[in-house]
Structure 1
Amino acid sequence: MDFKQLRYFMAVVEEGSISAAAISLPLAQPALTRQLQLLEESVGASLLHRSRRGVTLTAAGEAFHRDVGRLLNQFEQAKRNAQRVSEGQMGQLRLGVTVMHLWVPRITQLLNDFRHQYPAVTLKVISLLSGPQIEALRRDQLDAGILFFPPEDDPGLCYHPLYEDRLVLVARAGSRLAQQPPRRLAALNGEDFIWFDRSATPTYHDRLIHAFQRAGFTPHVVQEGTDNATMLCLVAAGMGCTILPEMTMAGAPAGVVSHPLEDLDMALPLMLVWRRDASLPAVHRLIDVAESWDLRS
């Protein structure tokens, strides 16, 4: 039994005779008769009453006709779904992003535009820092990621710039640093500083440290936070000051302020990153949306 025989059966029922069905298919009548016989043998029951006036369904044929109708409809839907997945119109896209990035209007614009253009694609957003996102991409646990500083020496990854942020000093409102903000990084020497563990985002960490060293600043680390949100809360609690991307202030708790520093001019390019060998069509549709307009403008 195959789908071809099922379609022959449905055509015969619809036309009411084997000869009429043979013409509509088209197929030679003896070949159609033989296919119907093979189908009945496969089913193990007589499906059609044959007479000079045409064909009618047996009791078994009635039940078989109902089920085959549903089966063929499901098969056609399965084909349409497969085609839509292959075109990136359907399926699931696993996207890595930090919670803070979801507050950036340019990034929400990207995600909203993608959802508008491809509503049948389920966007599974997974909250991860930049370092773990890279590892998840390499292990095929993510389809794409939004992060700072993807490794430039990894030929297996591709990226597209989405947004460029800057670094700012973050301090508790009412503190001396907030009331008399310094102009340069070196003025922060000796201040209680909140930092993060290098293992979370090594490339980002190292670039910041190099920027600090060039400016003559050595952080006096008194507390570490696991992510930007935690670091903001520690600043709000009066544990110290820190340096963070300016966009994080969109989600800052009450009592936290930020100030730019003249010599803290390191650009923070936020990138859409994906595997060079990515085969999921939905990934390429997301890339198309990102490349269709300039998110940095």
Structure 2
Amino acid sequence: MELRHLRYFLAVAEEGQLTRAAARLHIQQPPLSLQIQELEQELGFALFVRQPRGVALTIPGEAFAASTRALMLDLEHAVTQARRVAQGQVGTVRVALTSSAAFHPLTPTAIRNFRETYPEIAIEMTEVNAAEIIELMLTERADVAVLRKPIDMPEALRFELLAQEPMLVVLPVGHPLIGTRPISLKRLADQPFIFVRRPGAPGMYADFVRACQAKGFEPRVVEEVPRMVTAINLVAAGGGVSLVPASMQRYHQESVRYCRIAGDQAFYAPLHLVTRIDMKSPAAGRFRETLLEFVRASRQK
């Protein structure tokens, strides 16, 4: 039994006449009659009672017609749903984020815009460090990612710059350097720094470390932590100072101060979108396209 047999059967059942059904199906009447006979032989019972002016369903034929209609509707729904998945309108996107990337206002705004545009695509978000993100992407356990500065850039992955913002020094309330904002780099030479644990996010601090070395000193790192939020918490508790992207200055405002670095030093924190070159998920492809379009539109405002 083939799908065409079911289509032919339903056409005859709905038209009640072989001639009209054949015209509807764009075939000749004799082949249609032969197909119906073959279907009846395969089923082992008569589907139609032949009448002078057409045909009528038998009682088993009526039952078969009801089930066949339901089957065809299910098939049509399956085709429609699969087509929407292929077009990236339905599905799931697994998004990996670093904590500092999640703090940038672009990230939640763009994700919310995507949710509103494609409400039938589920978003699963995971917060990990940059090193873990690269591993998740390479092993295909994440579809897309948003991070700051990648540790390395494997050929299998695509890195697209979304935004850049300055890095700020984080000081505890009452710190003597607060009154001298912006702060010169040399005045940070004796400060105890709290950095995000390396190799979790070494790229975030590479420019800063090189600039310090160019000024004749090595930053004194007293502690390394897994997240930037943790670093800010430790600064608030008096454990040292840190360096974070400007968008994180909304955090712990009552306990810390965020200061720019003076002089010609420009430390920037980029924001990157990461996807696989051989992206398999249509929904992930749609996410990438929508996010990049959102970024382009935001820049034009």
Common topology (TM > 0.5) = yes
Q: Could you tell me which amino acid in structure 2 is paired with residue 113 of structure 1?
A: N
Q: Structure 1 residues 45, 189: CA separation in 2 closer, same or farther (over 3 Å shift)?
A: farther
Q: Could you tell me which amino acid in structure 1 is paired with residue 148 of structure 2?
A: F
Q: Secondary structure at the match of 2:221?
A: strand
Compute the displacement of 1:152 (Å): 6.4
> Quick one: distance in 2 between partners of 1:151 and 1:134?
8
Q: Structure 1 residues 270, 34: CA separation in 2 closer, same or farther (over 3 Å shift)?
A: same
- TM-score w.r.t. structure 2 length? 0.86
Aligned 8 A contact 2:151 2:202 in 1:
no
Aligned 8 A contact 1:100 1:228 in 2:
yes
**What residue is the counterpart of 1:133 in the other structure?**
133
Compute the displacement of 1:277 (Å): 1.7
**What residue is the counterpart of 2:285 in the other structure?**
284
> Quick one: distance in 2 between partners of 1:296 and 1:267?
18
**What residue is the counterpart of 1:77 in the other structure?**
77
Aligned 8 A contact 1:162 1:296 in 2:
no
> Quick one: distance in 2 between partners of 1:243 and 1:262?
14
Is the counterpart of residue 191 in structure 1 residue 196 in structure 2? Answer: no
Q: Secondary structure at the match of 2:142?
A: coil
Q: Could you tell me which amino acid in structure 1 is paired with residue 289 of structure 2?
A: D
Matches for 1:100-115 after TM superposition, within 5 Å? 100-115=100-115
Is the counterpart of residue 271 in structure 1 residue 272 in structure 2? Answer: yes
Aligned 8 A contact 1:150 1:273 in 2:
no
Compute the displacement of 1:220 (Å): 2.8
**What residue is the counterpart of 2:12 in the other structure?**
12
Is the counterpart of residue 220 in structure 1 residue 220 in structure 2? Answer: yes
> Quick one: distance in 1 between partners of 2:43 and 2:170?
75
How many residues are treated as equivalent by the alignment? Answer: 297
> Quick one: distance in 1 between partners of 2:213 and 2:148?
20
Q: Structure 1 residues 53, 211: CA separation in 2 closer, same or farther (over 3 Å shift)?
A: farther
- TM-score w.r.t. structure 1 length? 0.87
**What residue is the counterpart of 2:232 in the other structure?**
232
Compute the displacement of 1:129 (Å): 2.0
> Quick one: distance in 1 between partners of 2:31 and 2:11?
14
> Quick one: distance in 2 between partners of 1:151 and 1:196?
13
Q: Structure 1 residues 215, 108: CA separation in 2 closer, same or farther (over 3 Å shift)?
A: farther
**What residue is the counterpart of 1:93 in the other structure?**
93
Q: Could you tell me which amino acid in structure 2 is paired with residue 274 of structure 1?
A: T
Q: Secondary structure at the match of 1:166?
A: strand
After superposing the two structures, state which structure 1 stretch, 100-109 or 15-24, moved more. 100-109
Q: Secondary structure at the match of 1:89?
A: coil
Q: Could you tell me which amino acid in structure 2 is paired with residue 105 of structure 1?
A: P
Identity %: 31
Q: Could you tell me which amino acid in structure 1 is paired with residue 135 of structure 2?
A: E
**What residue is the counterpart of 2:209 in the other structure?**
209
Q: Could you tell me which amino acid in structure 1 is paired with residue 5 of structure 2?
A: Q
Q: Secondary structure at the match of 2:96?
A: strand
Q: Structure 1 residues 271, 52: CA separation in 2 closer, same or farther (over 3 Å shift)?
A: same
Matches for 1:21-40 after TM superposition, within 5 Å? 21-40=21-40
Q: Structure 1 residues 186, 61: CA separation in 2 closer, same or farther (over 3 Å shift)?
A: farther
Q: Could you tell me which amino acid in structure 1 is paired with residue 25 of structure 2?
A: L
Q: Structure 1 residues 63, 126: CA separation in 2 closer, same or farther (over 3 Å shift)?
A: farther
Compute the displacement of 1:294 (Å): 5.1
After superposing the two structures, state which structure 1 stretch, 40-49 or 184-193, moved more. 40-49
> Quick one: distance in 2 between partners of 1:206 and 1:19?
80
Q: Could you tell me which amino acid in structure 1 is paired with residue 287 of structure 2?
A: L
Aligned 8 A contact 2:96 2:127 in 1:
yes
Compute the displacement of 1:182 (Å): 6.6
Q: Could you tell me which amino acid in structure 2 is paired with residue 192 of structure 1?
A: P
Aligned 8 A contact 2:198 2:224 in 1:
no
Is the counterpart of residue 50 in structure 1 residue 50 in structure 2? Answer: yes
Q: Secondary structure at the match of 2:190?
A: coil
Over the aligned positions, Cα root-mean-square deviation in angstroms equals 2.6
Aligned 8 A contact 1:169 1:244 in 2:
yes
> Quick one: distance in 1 between partners of 2:297 and 2:154?
25
